[in-house]
């Protein structure tokens, strides 16, 4: 048990610290190798973990490839310029930016919103000439929204895919439960962010210095095709769910179509397809497998049994307390240990749970997922996406210190998490 714990925390330290720029994938792989060598896990466990994570991991990579292609085509610049022109400044700009952020998070996953859209927002705000406090307010808000609104679709977050696959939740059923809950999360997130940053919002600005949105389009062919491809992909998720078609196959097909359009066969287009493929997060494949092998070692050591006991107690306390309790346990666990290992730890503990009312376990599964998506906002190391987001912002000249991040996160996150979990409990009684 002690060995499993030491390997787990040592791996987390390597992932967060990344000494000498060590790739997060190789950090997790090193932890997995030690777990295998010490007998904490065996090769059968590796096969079991791969069966859990492969679809989610390759779906995530495909979504980021789609996001990178659209970014190269100018899609996100085009959208941001439209929002800046419509918003001009003040609360209106704040609301429109966050709505765009939530939409991108829903369709392209939270990492796409945080890592690709945020730099575009920074450049657009600077083109408007807003002061640094206003840039910080909107940038922090977009990073916050990217995670808190990554709930509506199975593909909106890597954690969603893992949980949906593990518990056999179809795309349609997931959306029926979580779309209304995500709307509530978006509403309360925007409210608390506005209350916190209302004095720092940019004043109204003339938009004459902004480029025309159409000028941002680099590859018009990819831009035009993006709309039907994304619409077809979304429909395919719902239609094929009953047939057990892997989400990775659908998302990968959409990514290949956009890559083929961008490549134009042998002629090539304005988009450098080779760079897109190099920038794709292939290291996440190794990270997911390695990190979850280490987590599986905690299961083998019996440590997850204690969490299972807590969930069993919560299941007998009524739907509201079960939802709130499960969500906060998962949220705190994610904030401390990172949400990717936390989502599997909670899933393994919830899986054996079979309360008299089957809807209770389903509610707790969704609550666990909400905790893993929202809870990481308590700390800057609660999710890999946040760590990468902070790094990208620092390169753009926007530095968010860990102390400042935690001060804001500790105030705003519990409010958003509590309201979202209560809404889930109430909504589940309607959709059961």
Q: List the pLDDT tens digit at each of the 432 positions of the chain.
A: 788 889 988 988 887 777 776 777 888 899 999 999 999 999 999 999 999 889 988 998 898 899 889 989 999 889 888 888 887 777 888 899 899 999 999 988 888 787 788 888 888 887 777 788 888 898 899 999 999 999 999 999 989 999 999 999 999 999 999 999 999 999 999 999 999 999 888 777 666 667 788 888 999 999 999 999 999 999 999 998 888 899 999 999 999 999 999 987 656 678 888 888 888 878 888 888 888 899 888 888 888 889 999 999 999 999 999 999 999 999 999 998 888 889 999 999 999 888 767 889 999 999 999 999 999 999 988 887 787 788 778 877 788 888 889 999 999 999 999 999 999 999 999 987
**Residues 417, 371 contacting (CB under 8 angstroms):** yes
Contacting residues for 194 by C-beta, under 8 A, at least 6 apart = 91, 94
**Residues 330, 367 contacting (CB under 8 angstroms):** yes
**Residues 370, 424 contacting (CB under 8 angstroms):** yes
Write down the residue that tokens 């070692």 correspond to: 297
Residue 134 has a pLDDT of: 85
CA 191 to chain centre: 21
Proportion of the chain in helix, strand, coil states, percent, rounded to 5: 80, 0, 20
Cα→Cα distances 209→41, 90, 128, 137, Å: 59, 18, 7, 22
Residue 365 has a pLDDT of: 96
Give phi and psi for 218, each to the nearest 5.
-90, -40
Residue 13 has a pLDDT of: 85
Contacting residues for 341 by C-beta, under 8 A, at least 6 apart = 8, 12, 291, 292, 294, 295
Q: What is the CB neighbour count within 10 angstroms for residue 414?
A: 17
Cα→Cα distances 113→39, 68, 139, Å: 39, 11, 11
**Residues 39, 296 contacting (CB under 8 angstroms):** no
Q: Which pTM value belongs to this model?
A: 0.89
Residue 179 has a pLDDT of: 96
**Please, how many CA atoms are within 13 Å of residue 332, restricted to the half-sphere of its CB?**
7
Q: Annotate 323-340 with DSSP letters as a single string.
A: HHHHHHHHHHHHHHH-HH
Give phi and psi for 223, each to the nearest 5.
-60, -50
First vs last C-alpha separation in the chain: 39
Of 92, 186, 189, 94, nearest to 139 by C-alpha is 94
Residue 85 has a pLDDT of: 83
Of 331, 329, 334, 336, nearest to 308 by C-alpha is 329
**Rounded-to-integer distance, Cα 133 and Cα 313, Å:** 46
**Rounded-to-integer distance, Cα 48 and Cα 55, Å:** 13
Give phi and psi for 382, each to the nearest 5.
-70, -20
Q: Helix axis angle, 304-315 relative to 319-337, nearest 10°?
A: 160
Q: Helix axis angle, 283-300 relative to 24-37, nearest 10°?
A: 30
Provide the 3-class DSSP secondary structure of residue 266. coil
Total count of residues recorded for the chain: 432
**Residues 368, 145 contacting (CB under 8 angstroms):** no
What angle is formed at CA 166 by the lines to CA 165 and CA 169, rounded to 5 degrees?
A: 55
Residue 213 has a pLDDT of: 85
């Amino acid at each position: 048990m002690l060995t499993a714990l030491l390997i787990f925390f040592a791996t987390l330290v390597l992932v967060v610290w990344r000494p000498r720029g060590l790739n997060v994938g190789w950090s997790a792989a090193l932890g997995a190798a030690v777990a295998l060598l010490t007998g904490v896990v065996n090769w059968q466990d590796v096969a079991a973990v791969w069966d859990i994570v492969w679809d989610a991991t390759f779906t995530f990579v495909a979504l980021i490839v789609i996001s990178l292609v659209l970014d190269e085509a100018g899609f996100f610049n085009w959208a941001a310029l439209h929002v800046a022109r419509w918003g001009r400044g003040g609360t209106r700009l704040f609301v429109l930016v966050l709505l765009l952020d939530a939409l991108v998070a829903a369709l392209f996953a939270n990492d796409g919103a945080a890592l690709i859209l945020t730099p575009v927002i920074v450049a657009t705000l600077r083109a408007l000439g807003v002061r640094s406090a206003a840039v910080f307010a909107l940038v922090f808000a977009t990073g916050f929204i990217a995670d808190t609104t990554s709930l509506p679709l199975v593909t909106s977050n890597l954690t969603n895919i893992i949980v949906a696959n593990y518990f056999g939740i179809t795309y349609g059923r997931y959306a029926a439960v979580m779309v209304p809950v995500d709307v509530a999360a978006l509403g309360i997130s925007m409210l608390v962010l506005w209350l916190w940053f209302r004095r720092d919002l940019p004043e109204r600005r003339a938009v004459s210095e902004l480029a025309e949105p159409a000028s941002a389009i680099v590859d018009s062919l990819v831009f035009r095709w993006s709309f039907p491809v994304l619409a077809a992909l979304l429909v395919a998720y719902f239609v094929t769910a009953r047939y057990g078609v892997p989400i990775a196959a659908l998302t990968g097909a959409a990514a290949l179509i956009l890559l083929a359009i961008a490549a134009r066969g042998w002629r090539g287009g304005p988009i450098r397809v080779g760079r897109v493929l190099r920038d794709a997060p292939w290291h996440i494949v190794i990270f997911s497998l390695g990190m979850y092998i280490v987590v599986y070692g905690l299961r083998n050591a019996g440590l997850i049994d204690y969490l299972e006991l807590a969930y069993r107690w919560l299941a007998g306390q009524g739907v509201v307390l079960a939802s709130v309790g499960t969500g906060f346990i998962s949220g705190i666990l994610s904030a401390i240990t990172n949400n990717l290992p936390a989502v599997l730890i909670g899933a393994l503990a919830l899986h054996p749970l079979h309360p008299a009312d089957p809807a209770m376990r389903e509610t707790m599964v969704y609550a666990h997922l909400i905790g893993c998506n929202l809870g990481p906002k308590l700390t800057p190391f609660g999710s890999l996406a946040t760590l990468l987001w902070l790094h990208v912002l620092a390169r753009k000249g926007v530095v968010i210190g860990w102390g400042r991040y935690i001060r804001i996160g500790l105030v705003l996150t519990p409010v958003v998490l509590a309201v979202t979990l209560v809404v889930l409990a109430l909504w589940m009684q309607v959709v059961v």
